[in-house]
Amino acid sequence: MSLRIVVCVKYVPDATGDRRFADDNTTDRDSVDGLLSELDEYGVEQALKIAEASGDAEVTVLTVGPDDAKDALRKALSMGADKAVHVNDDDIHGTDVIGTSAILAKAIEKTGFDLVVCGMASTDGTMGVIPALLSERLGVPQVTLLSEVGVEGGTVKGRRDGDAATELLEASLPAVVSVTDQSGEARYPSFKGIMAAKKKPVESLDLDDLGIEADEVGLAGAWTAVDSATARPARTAGTIVKDEGEGGKQLAEFLASQKFI
């Protein structure tokens, strides 16, 4: 049977745009342009490479997100993924990472999988914990933060480059992996890919389809709550310390006044 790969891709606000919070302190996803998280492009790329090497694989891209998140799916499909699953439900608004992982896990189970591929972190939430949560919820091994990954037979193998050591890791399938931005540049879609993507299947699912109650997720079901959010103050000119014999002391005083030391 062919290798079933599910890539989790997140639709995130464009980091070059003006990112804001909405009135309920959730990320404002309506008034800003969004796109497929750049870090998830690496996941799509590695999934496609694994699929190409296997010769008999099917790559499904999965997102949990609002209507516009279909743009992220279309992008991944035009890069070469075979089909897409879009979980979209008004009740998902404000879901925290615990809830998001529950939704993703149910959707992955429903789709069927041998390998789940995630990015190293989203570019908006940047918690980097979804892969671990998925591994727990799906009851399969996790091999995370890989800069190199491949599948041989029923085993996924990879390399994790740490500060102190390079680890060679492997796990038996089914498994969850996450890949870093060092895993190899993602391909650009081609115009032919864009045209082909229009004909690829996109399955839409809501919470009902996944057997999830509305109060398990959303703002109400979240374990975390954001009470207030303040924009970072504009950068000021800074303080220049001229060394006229007292430089070291002045530096130390400055750092102490900013509570760094």
Partner 1 sequence: MSQPIRPLKSMDRQLPSEEAADLLALTRELVERELAPRAAEEEAEGRFPREAMRLLGRSGLLGLPYPEEYGGGEQPYEVYLQVLEELAAGRLTVGMGVSVHTLACHALATFGSERQKQQWLPELLGGELLGAYCLSEPQSGSDAAALTTRAVREGGDGDDAHYSVTGTKAWITHGGVADFYSTMVRTGGPGPTGISVLLVPADTPGVAADAPERKMGLKGSPTAQVRFEAARVPAERLIGAEGQGFSIALSALDSGRLGIAACAVGVARAALDYAVEYARTRTQFGRPIAEFQGLSFMLADMATAVEAGRALYLSAARRRDAGLAFGKEAAMAKLFCTDAAMRVTTDAVQVLGGYGYTADHPVERYMREAKVLQILEGTNQIQRVVIGRKLTGG
Site residues for partner 1 per CB under 8 A: 16, 33, 74, 78, 188-192, 194-195, 197-198
Which residues of 103-191 form beta strands (DSSP E)? 115-119, 142-146, 148-152, 155-161, 166-172, 175-179
6 or 197: CB nearest partner 1: 197
- What is the enclosing helix (H) or strand (E) of 135? helix 130-138
Which of ligand FAD, partner 1, none has residue 214 at its interface (CB below 5 to 8 Å by kind)? none
Which of ligand FAD, partner 1, none has residue 194 at its interface (CB below 5 to 8 Å by kind)? partner 1
Residue 9 binds to ligand FAD (criterion: CB under 6 A):
yes
Going by the DSSP 8-state scheme, the letter that residue 81 receives in this structure is -
- Footprint on residues 34-93 left by ligand FAD (CB under 6 A): 39-40, 43, 62-65
Contact 6, 80 (CB under 8 A): no
Residue 171 binds to ligand FAD (criterion: CB under 6 A):
no
176 three-state secondary structure = strand
Which of ligand FAD, partner 1, none has residue 226 at its interface (CB below 5 to 8 Å by kind)? ligand FAD
Q: How far is CA 226 from each of CA 24, 94, 105, 119, rounded to the nearest angstrom?
A: 8, 10, 25, 25
Contact 112, 123 (CB under 8 A): no
147 or 250: CB nearest ligand FAD: 147
CB of residue 197 to partner 1, shortest distance in Å? 8
Q: Which of 60, 95, 144, 180 binds ligand FAD (CB under 6 A)?
A: 95
Angle between the 70-79 and 38-54 helix axes, to the nearest 10 degrees? 40
155 or 190: CB nearest partner 1: 190
188 or 260: CB nearest partner 1: 188
The phi, psi pair for 40, rounded to 5°, reads -80, -15
How many helices (H) and strands (E) the chain has is answered by: 7, 12
Q: What span, in angstroms and rounded, lies between the C-alpha atoms of 126 and 66?
A: 19
Q: Which residues does 82 contact at the CB level (< 8 Å), separation at least 6?
A: 58, 59, 60, 200
14 or 253: CB nearest ligand FAD: 14
Tell me which stretch binds ligand FAD (CB under 6 A): 128-136, 142-150, 231-239, 251-259.
128-136
Residue 122 binds to ligand FAD (criterion: CB under 6 A):
yes
Which of ligand FAD, partner 1, none has residue 218 at its interface (CB below 5 to 8 Å by kind)? none
169 three-state secondary structure = strand
184 or 250: CB nearest ligand FAD: 184
The residues that touch ligand FAD, with contacts defined as CB under 6 A, are: 8-10, 26-27, 39-40, 43, 62-65, 94-97, 100, 104, 118-119, 121-122, 124-131, 224, 226
